[in-house]
Amino acid sequence: MKTYLHIDWTSCDGRGLCAELLPGLLDRDDWGYPVARGKTGRERTDVPLRDADREAAQEAVFLCPKLALSLLERTAPEPEQRTTGR
Amino acid sequence: MTQARDTFPPAPQDDDQYMNAPLSRQIPLQTSQQVTGQEPRLLAAGPDADWARHRETFGPWEPQQAGQGLLNALGASGLTGRGGAAFETWRKAMAAAGSRRKGLLAARPVLIANGAEGEPLSFKDRTLLAHAPHLVIDGLLALAAALGQTGSGGSGPKGTSPRGTSMYIYAQAASLPRVQRALSERPGGKRIKLVQAPETFISGESSAVVNMIANGTALPTDQRRRLSESGLNGRPTLVVNVETLAQVALIARYGAQWFREAGTPADPGTRLVSVSGPAPTRDVVLEVPGGAQLSTVLQEAGMEPAAVSAVLVGGYHGRWVRPAAHALSPVGPPGRTARPGAGVIHALDLNSCGIQATSRIVNYLAGQSARQCGPCMFGLPAMASVLNRIAAGETNPRLASELDRLGRLVSGRGACRHPEGTTGLISSALEVFAGDFRAHLSGYCAGPGGVAA
Amino acid sequence: MDEALWAFGRVSGFVSLALFTASVLLGILNRSGRPLLVLPRFSISLLHRNIALLATVFLGLHVGSLLFDSFAKLNPVDIVVPFLGSYQPFWQGLGTVGLDLVLAIVVTGLLRHRIGQRTFKAVHWLSYGLWPVAMAHALGNGTDVSSGWFLLLAAASAVAVAAALLWRLSPYFLETSHARQGNLP
C-alpha cells in the first residue's frame, strides 16, 4: 500500500503553500504551479510519498487554499495512463 | 544560400487547414484496395448503408445475444482501441465489468460510443458514422449486453441487473441526423441516447465525454479514480471509439480467428486511416490491415512517397516521421514503426517547412487548451511562442533549449494528456526536422525556396 | 460584579475587533500568495485562521459578559436576531448582524473540506461586509467612542483596511500575476 499526493490540476492555482511544506518533494514552475522533483509522467500528478513526508503532506492537504490536494492510497502504481481517447 | 528573412514561409491564413476542421465535407469512400490488398471489412456494405443493406451484407444477427463469450473473443482477437490510445479493448471492458462486482449493489455500467473526433485532420469516424452507422450500433449493443451480463453470478447478493447497461452515442452535430435515422430503423434503437459533442479538440477526451453527458461541459475532469471504476454518476463507465465498436461488431459475428486473418500477429485486424496531403491529393479514408507499410498507404492515397518530406502519423498528438520502411502498428521496433494513434496520416511535401507546419499545429493546440490547469494554460502558449520565433527565423541559440525545457516542464502535469501530447509532437519535430531547426537558428529556411504549402 | 462584567464586555469587544482587523489584513495577504518577511505562506494562512478563531472566542466573551450585565439589556434573542434590542437598537443590531456573519464564516471555514471550496468561498466573501459592520457597531454602540485612543485606533484600522483593499484591487496584487501576464493565448 503506497500513499500518493494527488494534485487536482483543475483546482490548483499555484499558490505554493505545498511547496513550502514539502520542499524536498515539490518545486514551483515558471507560473507558480507545483513540480514534483525528479518525477516524470503521472507521478507528477500522483506524487509518491515516503513515510517521512506523510505528516507534512497531510498539512498541505489541509491548508491548500484551493483544496486541490488529497491523499491517495494505492496497492500498485497505475498501469493505465489517461488517454486522449478520441 | 540566402540569409534573407523573406525566404521564410508567409504567415498562415485564417482558413488554415490545420485550424479548421471542414465539418460537413463529404469524404469519398475509397473501396478499391489495389495497393494494400485488403478487402473492405468495416465499409463492406458500401456507401450510406441502411438497415436492409447492412443485414444483407453482414447477415442478420442479434447483438443482445452476446455475453461473456464476447469478452473472451475480444481477448483472443487482440483488438486494440482505434481512438488513439490503443488499449486492449478486452482489458478495458473487463475493468468496467469487474467494477460491478464491488459493493453491495451491482452498479449498472455505462457504455459510450465516442465519435467526437475533435482532431482537425481526422475524418474517419464521421465517415464511418455516415456510411456504416449500423455496424457501430451493433457493436454498442453487443458490448453493452456483454457488460450487463458479466458481474452477475454467485459473487454478490444481487443477480443479473435487469435493466442492463446505459448506452450513449457521442458525436458532432453533422453526424447526428444520420445516426438518428439509423437508430430509428431498428428495434431497440430508442434505448440509445444521442449526445452532441462540441467542435473542440478536447471534446473527445474520455473524462470530457462523461462531463458533457453529466453536466453539459465537455472539459476534462480531475480523476482520482478511473472511469472504469467510477465515471458517469459514479457508475463504471467505458468510453469506446466508434471504430473500435464497429470492429467489436465484426468480431462478435465472425470470431477472433477471422479478425486475426488480417493484419499482423502484433497488430491484428484492420483500421481506418484519414489520409491527407498536399494538393492535388484529395482527403480519403482507407481501411488498411494492421502493420501496413506507411509508404503503401501513401501510394494507395495517390501520393508518391519520394515526393513526401515528412508524414504526421497519429494526429496532433502523434509524431512526425520521415517515411522509410515504417509499419503502422502500435508496437514494433523503433525506427521501423509508426504508432497509428487515431489513424491520422498527413503528408508534407518537399516544399513545405516542417517547422512552420508544426508551429501552426502547436498554436492551434495552445488555443484549444481547456484553460483549467496551469501547466497547460500557460505552458502551451509559451511553447507556441518560442516555436513561432524559431519558425520566423530568429537566430537566438537558446530558443531550442528553451523549447525543450518547457516541454519537459509541462509533461504529466494536467488533468488530461493534452500537455504531453503536444510536447510529444514538438519533440518529434525537433528530431525529424533537426536540420531545419539548425538552419532556422542560423537564419535561413532549408526547404527549397522556403515557400509553404 | 456588574461593573466588572460591563468593563469586561467592552474590553473583549475591542480585542475582538482588533483581532478581526488583523485577520482581515492577513486574509488579504494570504490571497496574494506572498510570504511576509520571515513568514512563509503557510504560516500566514495559519495565522489568519488562528487569529480569526481567537477573535471569535473574544466575541463570545464579549456577547456572553454583556448578556449577564444589566447595562446592556441584552436578551438571548438579541444575540441572533438584530434590531430588537432595547438599548440603542440600531447600533446594537449591527453587532448582532456581525455575530451572525461571524458564525457563518467561521463554521464554513472549519468545515471547508466537507462543504467544498465553492460554498466556502461564497460565504467567505461576506467577511468584506463583516468588518465595516463590526467597526460601525463599535463606533455607534461603544461608550468609549469619545476617548481619543479608541478613535485613533479605529482610524488607524480603517486606513489599514482601506489600503489593503486598494492593494487587493490593484493589477499586480497576486505574486504570480507578472509571470502569468504574458502567456495567455
pLDDT tens by residue, A23-63: 999 999 999 999 999 999 999 999 999 999 999 999 999 99
For chain B, the chains sharing at least 3 beta-carbon pairs closer than 8 angstroms are A, C
Inter-chain CB proximity A20 and C116 less than 8 Å: no
- A58 within domain boundaries: yes
Kindly write down the DSSP assignment for every residue of A15-71, as one continuous string: --HHHHHSTTTEEE-TTS-EEETT--GGGGTEEE--GGGHHHHHHHHHH-TT--EEE
Kindly report the CATH number assigned to the domain that includes residue A42: 3.30.70.20
Shared domain check, B398 and B333: no
- pLDDT of B1: 36
- What's the pLDDT tens digit per position in B339-395? 999 999 999 988 889 999 999 999 999 999 999 999 999 999 999 999 999 999 888
Separation CA C100–CA C93 (nearest Å):
11
Separation CA B198–CA B370 (nearest Å):
13
Coil, strand, or helix at residue B13?
coil
Shared domain check, B275 and B219: no
A71 touches C: beta carbon within 8 Å: no
For chain A, the chains sharing at least 3 beta-carbon pairs closer than 8 angstroms are B, C
B245 neighbors B314 (Cβ within 8 angstroms):
no
Shared domain check, B101 and B180: yes
b/e sequence B136-155, b meaning 16+ C-beta within 10 Å: bbbbbbbbbbbbbbbbbeee
Nearest-Cα residue of chain A relative to residue B118: A86
B92 neighbors A81 (Cβ within 8 angstroms):
no
- B28 within domain boundaries: no
Beta bridge partners of A34: A28
- What's the pLDDT tens digit per position in B127-150? 999 999 999 999 999 999 998 876
CA distance A12 to chain B (A): 7
CA B362 to chain centroid: 18
Shared domain check, B249 and B370: no
> Residue B120 is part of which domain span?
51-259
Angle in degrees, 0-180, between the axes of helices B242-260 and B133-149, rounded to the nearest 10: 80
Of A31, A62, A63, the CB nearest to C176: A31
- Domain count along chain A: 1
CA distance B315 to chain A (A): 11
Residues of chain B with pLDDT under 70: 1-36, 100-105, 150-163, 447-453
> Residue A25 is part of which domain span?
2-74
Helical segments of chain C, H only: 2-32, 41-67, 76-80, 89-110, 112-115, 117-124, 127-141, 148-169, 177-181
Shared domain check, B160 and B149: yes
Shared domain check, B204 and B58: yes
Average pLDDT over residues C8-37: 95
- A86 within domain boundaries: no
CA distance C78 to chain A (A): 35
Shared domain check, B146 and B78: yes
- A82 within domain boundaries: no
- A84 within domain boundaries: no
- A55 within domain boundaries: yes
Coil, strand, or helix at residue B276?
strand
Residues of B in contact with A45 (CB under 8 A): 412-414
- pLDDT of A77: 57
φ, ψ of residue B227 in degrees (nearest 5): -60, -35
User: CB within 8 A of C167, min separation 6: which ones?
Assistant: C28, C32, C173
- What's the pLDDT tens digit per position in A43-52? 999 999 999 9
Residues of C in contact with B378 (CB under 8 A): 180, 183-184
Separation CA B395–CA B438 (nearest Å):
9
- B23 within domain boundaries: no
Inter-chain CB proximity A40 and B416 less than 8 Å: no
- Kindly report the number of other CB atoms within 10 A of residue C53's CB atom: 14
Separation CA A18–CA A9 (nearest Å):
13
Domain endpoint, select from B349, B367, B392: B349
- B37 within domain boundaries: no
- Domain count along chain B: 3
Inter-chain CB proximity B367 and C184 less than 8 Å: no
Tell whether ipTM is more than 0.85: yes
Choose among B92, B319, B321, B114: nearest CA to B202: B114
CA distances from B377 to B13, B369, B374, C179, C180 (A): 24, 6, 5, 13, 10
pTM: 0.89
Burial of C114 (0-12, 13-18, 19+ CB in 10 A): exposed
Shared domain check, B306 and B273: yes
Cell of A75: 496497492
Q: Are strands A69-74 and A46-48 parallel, antiparallel or unpaired?
A: unpaired
Kindly report the CATH number assigned to the domain that includes residue B440: 1.20.1440.230
Domain endpoint, select from B322, B349, B376: B349
Shared domain check, B122 and B84: yes
